Structure 1
């Protein structure tokens, strides 16, 4: 019996009504955004003028579809590049951090663990401004005093990657560390007793066990990177990712159905990635 669930019929109906209202509240904006992506109207609003795919595949103005919009496609490509690079970096660093905090004892461990968590609780705008000021201070100091120009410390794609890496590493560390905490270290000791080197134990015993967490951490980091706006806005240069491109379009042109089409594609893509992550973890759980 679920002791947390309401027991009286009235409270059960109230509880169900609350849950229904809560999920409607979450889903309604997404459903509306997806619906207007297929509305044959120049404005993302009622009335419904008929079904169309022009906002996805249209080739001429004013119904230029997202797959023929050069700026949107360039922003999408930039987001993919940034997401893949920063996710791979965050998973690599997160794995190292997980082993450090779960397996090692060292002075100040608790302090450094809290320090690692801090980027998650700092507002994204503050984090982005801090990184920008720090990078600019270093770049200006080197250029003024030593005549050394470090363009990667100026606003641009590389600085966006470094900025996102600062908080995505925290997320991957927590995901991978939670999985590593459940690992039976006796399996590593048994492999070592059979003559396996530490690297072989890591490659054949530990990392296969961590594989679902590594994949999940990569997916989560990629999705968070893809949709990140606050931190990215402070660090972006001319190579704008999709979120900044959409924001710029919204400011200059206003809300258009093509932005709803982009939102629909992102919702479907995010859902498929999340589903794939669940399937991978379930398959690994069944085979282990």
Structure 2
């Protein structure tokens, strides 16, 4: 056997093993969510049922944890995206000689273990709220939002920075020369340009918050999120209810990704049509100017 066919066979085997490793657990959970046995089982299929989904929605702890996770995720997005945007703008404005040090400082939370962030958040805010008399701030949800935002905002900054580095500063300078103020330039020029990055950063921040466990398990105190509830259930033994939850999360994620891709393509097509219309208008204007000159 020559090296060409051998390489193709090895590549095909690698692709099959890779997708089995990637999608195998999802297939197992997807099938077990509709199978009747009490323990997650793929084969034999004893019957089709939707009871595990009804039990999921009837599980008060699971639903409470889900609502808490959604609420925390929304708050983390509201905090992390503006902080990431500010960090990215500062990165492009500071002097190049201090840019490396600044980058190291703002990205360091990403390199810090989540357990350390969770414990340090609890310790710091316990002492701070005690000294300042603001004990009401020592709450599991508030601490979790603060702890998660400390490193998720760095992810948002990196996404926004990648987009911001392609921004043409001549647009900003032209607007300022025409009399626009800095807030007007930020609102009407910079924010529309950064809109795709802001949306992507918001999605990443929400998903990172929703699935986070290491930081959350310490910062949440006596409260609970979906990840902490699931961790406790898995220790007691997995059930098809967890498989039903996984199916719902996968379906929502896939539908959301498809909807975003369709929206992005439609927005790109609309932008392309506006660009072509502007070019045609400019060509018509130049042609109209050239005709009187020729006459």
TM-score (norm 2): 0.84
Q: Is 2:253 the counterpart of 1:256?
A: no
- Residues 1:265 and 1:98: Cα distance change in structure 2 (over 3 Å): same
Structure 2 residues not aligned, in runs of 5+: 273-295
Question: Per-residue deviation at 1:34?
Answer: 1.6
Between Structure 1 and Structure 2, the one with more helix by share is 2
Matching of residues 12-51 of structure 1 within 5 Å: 12-45=8-41, 46-51=43-48
* 2:142 aligned residue (136, 141, 158): 158
Q: Is 2:43 the counterpart of 1:9?
A: no
Q: Is 2:192 the counterpart of 1:195?
A: no
Structure 1 residues not aligned, in runs of 5+: 1-6, 58-64
**Structure 1 CA distance, aligned partners of 2:259 and 2:204?**
12
- Residues 1:88 and 1:149: Cα distance change in structure 2 (over 3 Å): closer
**Structure 2 CA distance, aligned partners of 1:138 and 1:197?**
39
Alignment check: 8 A CA contact 1:33 1:264 kept? yes
* 1:121 aligned residue (96, 111, 116): 111
RMSD after superposition? 2.0
Number of residue-to-residue matches in the alignment? 268
**Structure 2 CA distance, aligned partners of 1:271 and 1:179?**
25
Question: Per-residue deviation at 1:76?
Answer: 0.7
Alignment check: 8 A CA contact 1:39 1:50 kept? yes
Partner of 1:238, secondary structure, is coil
- Residues 1:241 and 1:98: Cα distance change in structure 2 (over 3 Å): same
Q: Is 2:54 the counterpart of 1:79?
A: no
**Structure 2 CA distance, aligned partners of 1:276 and 1:152?**
38
After superposition, give the CA deviation of every residue in 1:76-101 in whole Å (9 maximum; x if it has no partner): 11011000110121001100111000
After superposition, give the CA deviation of every residue in 1:53-88 in whole Å (9 maximum; x if it has no partner): 11112xxxxxxx111221111111101100011012
Alignment check: 8 A CA contact 2:118 2:215 kept? yes
Question: Per-residue deviation at 1:43?
Answer: 1.1
Query: What residue in structure 1 maps to residue 228 of structure 2?
Result: 244
Runs of 4+ in 1 over 6 A off after TM superposition: none
Partner of 2:35, secondary structure, is coil
- Residues 1:243 and 1:35: Cα distance change in structure 2 (over 3 Å): same
- Residues 1:125 and 1:279: Cα distance change in structure 2 (over 3 Å): farther
TM-score (norm 1): 0.86
**Structure 2 CA distance, aligned partners of 1:217 and 1:284?**
18
Query: What residue in structure 2 maps to residue 62 of structure 1?
Result: none
Alignment check: 8 A CA contact 2:91 2:102 kept? no
Query: What residue in structure 1 maps to residue 275 of structure 2?
Result: none
- Residues 1:198 and 1:280: Cα distance change in structure 2 (over 3 Å): farther
**Structure 1 CA distance, aligned partners of 2:212 and 2:202?**
15
After superposition, give the CA deviation of every residue in 1:143-196 in whole Å (9 maximum; x if it has no partner): xxx7x2523235x11100001001100100000110011111111222222222
Quick check: which has more Rg, 1 or 2? 2
Q: After superposing the two structures, state which structure 1 stretch, 17-26 or 189-198, moved more.
A: 189-198
- Residues 1:139 and 1:177: Cα distance change in structure 2 (over 3 Å): same
Question: Per-residue deviation at 1:281?
Answer: 4.2
Q: Is 2:82 the counterpart of 1:99?
A: no
- Residues 1:103 and 1:17: Cα distance change in structure 2 (over 3 Å): farther
**Structure 2 CA distance, aligned partners of 1:121 and 1:273?**
29
